[in-house]
Amino acid sequence: MIVGLSAAVDAIDANAGVRAAILTGEGKGFCAGGDIAAWGKLSPLEMGQHWVRNGHRVFDRLTRLRVPLVAALNGHTLGGGLELAATADIRIAEEQAKFGLPETGIGMVPGWSGTQRLVTRFGAAAVRRLALTGEIVTAERALQLGLIDEIAPKGEGLREARALCEKIAARGPVANIVAKQMINAAEGEDAAAAMEILAGSLVSYTSDLKEGVASFVEKRPPVFKGF
């Protein structure tokens, strides 16, 4: 799944025609978290340097996706699944979905930014309760805790996510991209890169840049005008 998500980010970022994206599950649920049978066999080094590191790398890329990302949570969203849902800009949950961070119940801690990004996006009180008690909450309770933005009837999450994406896509695409970058920066998501992206974009509109490039190609001193 991690490999597939990374490939999807590559495809979306390479396609300038994409204005919004949807993240959803293929089965009965959205994502029930990491495969315990798989990571339970890992050595401490493999757990830290591969399992946790790779999850962070891909989830960071999803969070910083160029276009707005809407999550259609069509069922259980637990552990790593809740951490995955947190990468989206907006979360729509179907009424039967359940949410939680059950890791401490088997002696593990949330590992894919469950104690970091989730706190930034949902607040420390909600995350503390879920992580320390292992409580599994309903969609209604998740809405109260701020884990999701709205609830859809069973089977309607994807349809509502598509309708929301159509609304997003009808707006100025560049404005949406920049607004997302600024909001991410305010949350501490790659603020340094966001600042340089915006600065580079601004300078690229100037006649001074065009003159600088032309003078380099023509091997002459540039004549800058300051605009």
Spatial contact of 176 and 168, defined as CB atoms under 8 Å apart: yes
Take residue 128 and report the two structure tokens written for it.
């503390």
The answer to whether the beta carbons of residues 12 and 145 sit under 8 Å apart is: no
Q: Spot the catalytic one: 26, 46, 83, 135.
A: 83
φ and ψ of 2, to 5 deg: -60, -45
**Which of helix, strand or coil describes residue 194?**
helix
Q: The dihedral of CA 36, 48, 46, 86: what is its sign?
A: positive
User: Any catalytic annotation for residue 103?
Assistant: yes
Does residue 83 have an active-site annotation? yes
69: left (phi over 0), alpha (psi -120 to 50) or beta: beta
Catalytic residue (choose from 95, 103, 140, 187): 103
Active site (catalytic) residues: 83, 103
